[in-house]
Amino acid sequence: MSTAGDAEEIALFRETVRHFIDTEVAPHDQEWERAHIVDRSLFRAAGAAGLLVPNAPERFGGGGAPDWRFNAVLDDEFGRSGYAGEAIGLALVNDVVSPYLLECTTEEQRERWLPGLITGETIGAIAMTEPGTGSDLAGIATRATLEGDHYVLNGSKTFISNGQNADLVIVAARTSPDRHRGLTLLVVDANAEGFSRGRNLDKLGLLSQDTSELHFADVRVPVADRLGDEGDGFLQLVRNLPQERLSLAVMAVAAGEAILAHTLEYVTERKAFGTPIGSFQSSRFTLAELATEISVARVFVDDCVARHLRGELTAVTAAKAKWWTTELQVRVAHRCLQLFGGYGYMREYPISRFYVDARIQTIFGGTTEIMKEIIGRDLGV
């Protein structure tokens, strides 16, 4: 799948990501957690380090490496680090927003939008979910009406990651009553008249991630800022969702591995009745079960990455990876926290943050139930 040179380059990239986390994220994380938003400098620093849109062509300032393994390395290292709020902000740009701006755009649009995204001066978001519409993309009600050379956009979105920081927002809007062919993607400039941000939502976890409500009141969006043709939106979303779900799966497995490592360290040091708690049979069995499940998940996710590189990752396989690994992440966090006893409930221990940050994984990017529905339909039932 790779040459020795490729492997060396990816290993060097992994070291770059680790250094970036140590120097640009760790020192500021608690401040950003308290503020419930990362500073925009995080994205500029990521751009300077070459961590944003590494697969973009060099003519736009990208790394020119059309190899999703670089994205996977960033997802893996951030998932392992425990800095999930920052991880989601950067992964959103790399794995969710950038594919639309690379694959659904004209050369003129790419020239306008990609350079800023790559340097981190421009922060991107995508707005699909609405107050009354979750995983059902076909139920989107935000409307865009064509008037001359502009669309007039009206509606509201919620649970939008990077919502407070975003400069460009890809908005899924209804341009006709047709349930599937009636969706169109528009790129909205945050400075546009009629665009407003609601509150930065107060979440259980991912505290450093700005998750917001967005409102569009007669926002005039140039036709030149439409992605593809009118009515292409549903197909564009469906085509790109597998990569988003694979990104979440990569982070889930890495987080599970990190949680297990933290727990093993703790149970070998912590004693009860004069004996390390890890030596009790119940603890050993719990750890053995989790270690096995994580190993199985890692092999499956690595295979999914290989399939994605070959252009063979299907929506069904991505759904399997997403629901299984994220449910595993929640289960690992739950069972490992128990082994920490009362200390696991303390914020000073990383396990407590892994625990609360894991819970959203089975919800965003498509709930576990929606993933099972996708798989079930493919089975013909």
Q: What is the DSSP string of 339-377?
A: HHGGGGGSTTSHHHHHHHHHGGGGTTTS-HHHHHHHHHH
Q: At what angle do helices 84-91 and 233-269 cross, to 10 degrees?
A: 160
List, in order, residues 6 or more apart from 240 with CB less than 8 Å away: 96, 99, 100, 103
**244 labelled catalytic:** yes
How far, in Å, CA of 62 to CA of 26, rounded? 25
**Six-digit token pair at 155?**
């509606």
How far, in Å, CA of 290 to CA of 256, rounded? Answer: 9
C-alpha span between 277 and 239 (Å, rounded): 48
With b for 16 or more beta-carbon neighbours within 10 A and e for fewer, the 51-75 pattern comes to: bbbbbbbeebbbbebebbbbbbbbb
Name the active-site residue from 244, 289, 293, 312. Answer: 244
- State the greatest distance between any 2 C-alpha atoms of the chain, in Å, as a whole number: 79
Q: Which residues are catalytic?
A: 244
